[in-house]
Amino acid sequence: MLLLRRFPTFTLTLFSCILLCESNTLKARQTVRNFPDGFLFGTATASYQIEGGWNADGKSENIWDHMTHNNPCVTDDCLNGDVADDSYNLYKRDVEMARELGLDFYRFSISWSRVLPTSFPDKMNEAGVQYYNNLINELLKYNIEPMVTIYHWDLPQKLQEMSGWTNPHIVDWFSDYSRVLFEQFGDRVKYWITLNEPREICYQGYGSVTMAPQLNIQGTAEYMCAKNLLVAHAKAYHIYDKEFRATQGGTIGITISASWMEPETEDHAEAAEVMRQFEWGQYAHPIFSKAGDFPPVMKERIAAKSAAQGFQRSRLPEFTAEEVEMVRGSSDFFGLNHYSSVIVFKNESSLTYDVPSYYDDIEANGYQPSDWSGAASSWLKDVPWGFYKLLTAIRENYDNPVVFITENGYSTYGGLEDEDRITYYRGYLNAMLDAMEDGSDVRVYTAWSLMDNFEWMRGYTERFGLYEVDYESPERTRTPRKSAFVYKEIVRTRALDFNYEPNTTIMTIDEGH
């Protein structure tokens, strides 16, 4: 999820024109549009956001446990994920919801510190392994494929105290952890995601303070993190490819967060492209481009600025030739988390930024016009044409890779009548179908999220769930929203019907799930 550093206020009527013109580039909306045969639908969650049981049955502390316990009001509501949705105990209800929706797959993540409480493979936590075995087996019992994310932001605190993702030894730590998961669960898991949203891990956690561990080391730590993360991902990929793929028959990739960056005018087209390369090209280019390595504009710009600032070498670490080759091509699919878009303008004023810093290196910034329809999250606007443009850019820039949409969703403040979420999903699915008709090879769509959950720094103030969770109830009662009924119909019919109105009196389980 993209969080830009600052948003200038503009009141130009040009922006309404931009929105209208871009919307008109999409194909005319049809009443009913069909998805291709074999297209897969699912929902997603993440371990810290739903599991609870933060210290249950041998689990050790992770960076979100540590941060929220030591500074409780770091979140908007001074709450944490100690109990969250209590999925550690209520996983059967989670699977029941997946059955109610008729899902093809359920994407969830595994907690490193629940499986390996020392962070290393010297000690396996059997209770943690059994929890995930139970969840996986319950899903497969009802023909729902598990899609497993190996790492979704909850690094063991012990590893963070050893510099976390800025320590090059994390390549081996992550590889060892990944091998354990392949060994324990790979006989049944056929879809693997190594890492979720590298930009949020590195920029927000290491360069800024908007995610744990809140290091706020601008212009250096996020780049160190990025290199180590990419090499760690690639090593885990090759371990699976060489040691497990032949016998387990699965697929493995990485999930990258990407917003669409639209230039304010043609004069800002270069700035928008530079921002794209920094924001998501930084992680996509090394893997999916023919050349590999960090994007050239990043290497050139950061090296020049570093020299001018008195550094002895570029603040952007270099890949060795061997690392470039190892990282390049190390994903079976382009996992894409997409939520919204921004308008980008060139900004060369060093007075605007800390120096050195990520945004000073970019020399551009972004904002979202006030007339864009917005969600409960300040950064999330309903801009479906941006999704179309993003998918088109991925197709054109990276030789049309297989794309898995691994997150897409909309936040509200709660309530079962969520028309805005329904409008968002329909608009984004429509834009995705437009891109697919143009040739984009999208094969998977994942709604974020199955249910309300701990929304990181926002606590429980923003709700993304198809199911509403009652956090006042010890049972954490889950109730389907109207959007859940609409999504269920999309999955059942394999079609997008803009006129469908559900009967929301009861959510039933269809035969086969």
Strand ranges (E), 110-259:
145-151, 191-196, 251-257
Alpha-carbon distance 101 to 87, whole Å? 18
Q: Are 23 and 426 contacting, i.e. CB atoms less than 8 angstroms apart? A: no
- Catalytic, out of 100, 138, 197, 264: 197
The conformation of residue 147, written as its DSSP 8-state character, comes to: E
Q: Please, is 214 exposed, middle or buried when counting C-beta atoms within 10 Å of its C-beta (0-12, 13-18, 19+)? A: middle
Asked if 197 is an active-site residue, the reply is yes
Asked if 407 is an active-site residue, the reply is yes
Tokens 């996509």 sit on residue: 284
- Catalytic, out of 407, 455, 462, 468: 407
Strand ranges (E), 332-400:
334-337, 341-346, 364-367
Q: Are 380 and 339 contacting, i.e. CB atoms less than 8 angstroms apart? A: yes
Residue 331 CB: number of other CB atoms within 10 A? 25
The residue type of 226 is A
Alpha-carbon distance 392 to 177, whole Å? 35
Q: Is the dihedral of CA 98, 101, 107, 108 positive or negative?
A: negative
Q: Please choose, from the candidates 253, 229, 255, the residue with its C-alpha nearest in 3D space to the C-alpha of residue 333.
A: 253
Residue 97's alpha-carbon distances to 103, 135, 148, in angstroms, are 9, 13, 18
Q: Please choose, from the candidates 236, 392, 400, 408, the residue with its C-alpha nearest in 3D space to the C-alpha of residue 333.
A: 400
The residue type of 105 is F
Calculate helix-pair angle for 126-141, 170-185, nearest 10 degrees. 50
Contacts of 389 (CB under 8 A, 6+ apart): 22, 260, 262, 341
Six-digit token string for 499? 């006129």
Residue 23's alpha-carbon distances to 103, 242, 460, in angstroms, are 30, 45, 33
Alpha-carbon distance 381 to 419, whole Å? 15
Tell me, letter by letter, the H, E, C secondary structure of 287-326: HHCCCCCCCHHHHHHHHHHHHHCCCCCCCCCCCCHHHHHH
Q: 166 pairs with which residues across the strands?
A: none
Active-site residue list: 197, 407
